């Protein structure tokens, strides 16, 4: 490692280099700031510190400091100058100098102490930066691990409900992928679309609380059974709500309370989808009978996607609808069951939606 000495006084420059070499430093030298920058650019990885005068021809020390601080902001620089002292020292420090020594230099031990001090500071900065980088890397790895675990839990939780409903689990994946596609088509930010992709599979998680005798009944449900079936929306909201049962139930008695963040926007969206995916644009849906504009866009998207995928899928009580039959059924529901804007996005992207079905068939 080298120390770069920049001074227009050749005798002083040579004396400084000789002293530093006696201290086992390699040295580089330049007679003005411009030449100093050229030397710095050539030897930057090997330059450990710079000693620079302020008053020099061609390029003075202030200009050198300004350029050098941009090239190597962590490079220790010591100003050695006899001008103005206080004012120039302040100006030099503002320009990027780490320390200041006044001329004439009668005791070279001062240079050694100053150099040791700035090099120790540089070492501590490097160690601190390395520590911060290691810490950030550990946080990234831990965050990625938590994210992987969260995704797996979501997938398994959403599949648990679908297995009860005689499905392979592919339905929830398709609902997530198609919902994200429509969200993007409707102008949702990419991070919100990704969140929608992950949360949409949880829309029917409340079916875990529905007895199999109702959930798997091949015939029509009577009024009591239908009333219980409708409760899967609130069951899902409660399941994804606060851990305390009373709080979870209370938080699902209003669609506005269910959407509150409480520090976890992911769970807030998942609960909203579970609670509101059976609301209708014309206000005749359940559980609240909300008019369409009061229903969050993500829930309006999932409402349509859930119906589309159910129509396209085979069930014990029905055959799968064709692409054309599904298209016509969704179009017919525009303005009543579905948000017209979501229907338009669906029709405009039907080829891509069908491709998702083909990819996640099952």
Catalytic residue among 70, 103, 164, 207: 207
207: annotated active-site residue: yes
* HEC profile of the chain: CEEEEECCCHHHHHHHHHHHHHCCCEEEEECCHHHHHHHHHHHHHHEEEEEECCCCCCCCHHHHHHHHHHHCCCCCEEEEECCCCHHHHHHHHHHCCCEEEECCCCCHHHHHHHHHHHHHHHHHHHHHHHHHHHHHHHHHHHHHHHHHHHHHHHHHHHHHHHHHCCCCCHHHHHHHHHHHHHHHHCCCCHHHHHHHHHHHHHCCHHHHHCCHHHHCCCCCCCHHHHHHHHCHHHHHHHHCCCCCHHHHHHCCCCHHHHCCCCCCHHHHHHHHHHHHCCCCCCCCCCCCCCCHHHCCHHHHHHHHHHHHHHHHCCECCECCCCHHHHHHHHHHCECCCECHHHHHHHHHCHHHHHHHHHHCCC
**Residues classed as catalytic:** 207
């Amino acid at each position: 490692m080298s120390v770069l000495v920049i001074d227009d006084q050749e005798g002083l420059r040579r004396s400084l280099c000789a002293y530093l070499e006696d201290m086992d430093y390699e040295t580089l030298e330049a007679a003005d700031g411009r030449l100093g920058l050229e030397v710095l650019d050539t030897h930057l990885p090997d330059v450990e510190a710079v000693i620079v005068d302020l008053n020099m021809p061609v390029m003075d020390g202030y200009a050198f400091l300004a350029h050098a601080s941009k090239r190597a902001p962590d490079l220790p620089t010591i100003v050695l100058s006899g001008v103005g002292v206080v004012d120039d020292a302040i100006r030099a420090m503002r320009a990027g100098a780490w320390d200041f020594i006044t001329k004439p230099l009668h005791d070279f031990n001062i240079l050694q102490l100053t150099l040791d001090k700035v090099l120790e500071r540089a070492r501590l900065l490097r160690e601190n930066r390395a520590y911060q980088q290691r810490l950030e890397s550990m946080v990234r790895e831990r965050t990625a691990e938590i994210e992987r675990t969260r995704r797996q839990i979501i997938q398994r939780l959403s599949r648990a409900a679908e297995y009860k409903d005689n499905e392979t689990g592919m339905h929830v994946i398709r609902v997530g992928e198609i919902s994200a596609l429509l969200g993007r088509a409707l102008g949702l930010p990419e991070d919100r679309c990704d969140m929608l992709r992950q949360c949409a599979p949880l829309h029917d998680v409340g079916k875990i609380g529905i007895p199999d005798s109702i959930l798997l009944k091949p015939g029509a449900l009577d009024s009591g059974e239908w009333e219980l079936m409708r409760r899967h929306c609130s069951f899902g909201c409660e399941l994804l709500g606060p851990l305390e049962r009373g709080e979870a139930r209370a938080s699902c008695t209003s669609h506005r309370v269910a959407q509150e963040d409480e520090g976890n926007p992911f769970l807030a969206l998942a609960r909203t989808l579970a609670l509101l995916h059976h609301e209708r644009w014309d206000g005749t849906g359940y559980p609240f009978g909300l008019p369409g504009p009061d229903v969050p866009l993500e829930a309006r998207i999932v409402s349509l996607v859930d119906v589309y995928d159910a129509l396209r899928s085979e069930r014990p009580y029905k055959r799968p609808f064709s692409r054309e039959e599904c298209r016509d059924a969704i179009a017919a529901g525009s303005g009543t069951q579905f948000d017209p804007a979501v229907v338009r996005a669906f029709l405009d992207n039907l080829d891509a939606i069908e491709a998702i079905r083909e990819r996640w068939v099952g």
